[in-house]
A and B are shown apart, each in its own frame.
Chain A
Amino acid sequence: MLSRVAASFFWLSRYIERSDGILRMLKINYASSQDAVREFTWEPVIRIYSGVDDELTSKLHNDSRAVLSYMVSGRNNPNSITNMITLARENARSVQEHITRDLWQCLNEYYHCVKDPSINQRLMEDDPISVLDVLIKQIMLYYGTAEISMERGQGRSFMNIGKYLERSIQAVDILDVKFGSVNANPDLLTDTTYWKHLLQSLGGYELYLKTYRDGIEAQNVMELVILNDDFPRSVIYSANNIHRYYDRLKNESHLSNHRNIAFQIGKLQSFIQYSSAQSIRQVGLHQFLTQIRQDLFAIGTSMNEHYFANY
């Protein structure tokens, strides 16, 4: 497979996965902004997806509609859904003859949908949730189409590695920001709505309720999001899948390269696997997450070096 094609598969997936994460995050946060019980701030959301940017934060005035518009169709926001879907589509376009027609059409339609000016208009004037739902549904459609139509070859492995790498990075970032806010505002630690929203935005609320019977506690939230094998957005679940799909590339790789990256992935996997809520608390969550983030980035860099950077 051409290196550029492999890179496109990888990035196509990362863009889609990131879009999905943002959309879910926006939906839940918007909903919680409607609970006027307490002061609501968009700052963590902006921080997760745009970095620390005080100027931007103050420009958006914590105005929900302005934030949504910026995050969904902001032209100057590289992480806006419009920009990311455009990039996803451009990557798909450059590998058009390697993906199924169905998948291409699905992305193409998504692109036309998100480019439609009415999206922004409805975000500003209508019920934003229903707009976000439309956009989220498109991604589910994409994942379904990819699942049933893509051949089980190299291309799909690169796609899935990209997807799970992105997903784990997001989970790490969200945890880091959300737990970080607790330092500044210790009251949050016992604020069940705060944790509930976090779980909802990751789609893990129901699983949490089934797993932990005694109410919402920050420690348990952390455990679920990092260590739960069954939770599809947990860090360990993603790491396992990176391992799984990377393993499939074995026959299509230089042996020594493959061994090196496989080692990196395996090391990360065990690092998480052999951690517990308690051991994480001992090292400190922030430090633990920083380590994982570094390892994930290192895997991305290695993939780039050995598979993509060749052109």
Chain B
Amino acid sequence: MPEFKIQHITRYTYEGLVRDSANQIILYPITDVAQEVLKHDLTITGNPVVDTHIDYYGNQVGSFTYLEKHSRLVINSEVLVVTHPKELPADDIAADEQWQMLASVQFIVPYIDFLKPEYFESLPELITTIESERLQGETPYQTALRFAGYIYKNIKYLPGVTTVESTLDEVWKLKAGVCQDFAHLFIQILRLLKIPARYVSGYICPNHNGMRGEGATHAWAEVFIPNYGWIGIDPTNNCVANETHVRLAVGRNFSDCSPVKGVYKGNSGHMLEVKVSVEYKGLPSSEPENLIPTNQFIQTIESEPFTTNSYRRYQEIMLMQQQQQQQ
């Protein structure tokens, strides 16, 4: 029964004053048989009222606004979580039968949402790869582990080469990326194999075992195994995601789960820093690392100080959007 105290700080620093900020956070660990939240403290600049709701995928989502002019916004989430290891799939049903069971759920909610592969340019190449790597006669569980291993071996873990907006094409061509890209590619492969797979965002708490993904939010996938249910598989570390992985949210893709996102008005320049640190019960805390500057989770509506005319500054961008077709 590992117990973790996780501190997750998100800090936006703006070049000038910004206002009218609206934000959405998915920072509430999932509570179920494998995960308990003992305590959760959330502090946000300006102390806004955070309203929460449960989204379509069952995640708890918070939203808040901050209208006053400000030059920084800090979201500090401190959570005390206990995890319970989950037994691994027995995987003792014949492979054929399991594949059939998967085929029979493909038009059923929720699986239908986690089966649609996305189109990208190198799709044919990926399909060929899958065909040649795949071993006939293996169960869905074995197949999933095989491809987690394939990704682990063939994709380089290289922070900084990709961003949250990187496409599968870029990742496939670079053969490198971070946990998000690993999870993204993994999910795509599983879906092409007709195995339901969903994106998971959360934290990894490896207790100094040198696993990848520490210090920031982590991402992996959950795979649906017949007669078992969803099992977490982490292609970045080539392992089953069990009691050292703390889940925040699940969804079809990154954007269903992005931990923090926001929109504001003001000068466009901003810096975003994220830090995640984990303390283990009875063990010294991991060295607090410096905030890692990332380039994530934010969109800006550019608006310059009012100089000439209200119309000019928005003209270009608005012209495009305003011409949207009316029915």
Contacts and interface: CB of A to CB of B under 8 A. Distances in A.
Interface of A: 4, 7-8, 11, 87, 90-91, 94, 304, 308-309
Nearest to A12: B309
B56 interface: no
B107 interface: no
A11 B306 contact: no
B119 interface: no
Question: Chain A binding site: helix, strand, loop or mixed by DSSP?
Answer: helix
Contact of B306 (A87, A94, A309): A309
A299 to B, nearest CB: 14
- In which size bucket is the chain B interface? under 10
> Top 5 A-B pairs ranked by shortest CB distance?
A7-B310, A304-B306, A11-B309, A309-B306, A90-B311
Interface-central residue, B305, B309, B312, by most chain A CB under 10 Å: B309
Contacts of B311: 11, 87, 90-91, 94
A79 to B, nearest CB: 11
A67 B309 CA distance: 25
A308 B309 contact: no
Contacts of A308: 306, 310
Nearest to A91: B311
A309 B312 CA distance: 14
Contacts of A309: 305-306
Given A11-B311, A87-B309, A91-B309, 14 more contacts: A4-B310, A7-B306, A8-B310, A11-B309, A87-B311, A87-B312, A90-B311, A91-B310, A94-B311, A304-B306, A308-B306, A308-B310, A309-B305, A309-B306
A134 to B, nearest CB: 26
Contacts of B306: 7, 304, 308-309
Contacts of B309: 11, 87, 91
Contacts of A94: 311
Interface in B281-314: 305-306, 309-312
11 contacts: A4-B310, A7-B306, A8-B310, A11-B309, A11-B311, A87-B311, A90-B311, A91-B309, A94-B311, A304-B306, A309-B306
A87 B311 CA distance: 8
Scoring B305, B306, B310, B312 by chain A CB atoms within 10 A of each residue's CB, the highest score goes to B310
Contacts of B305: 309
Nearest to B311: A90
A110 B308 CA distance: 22
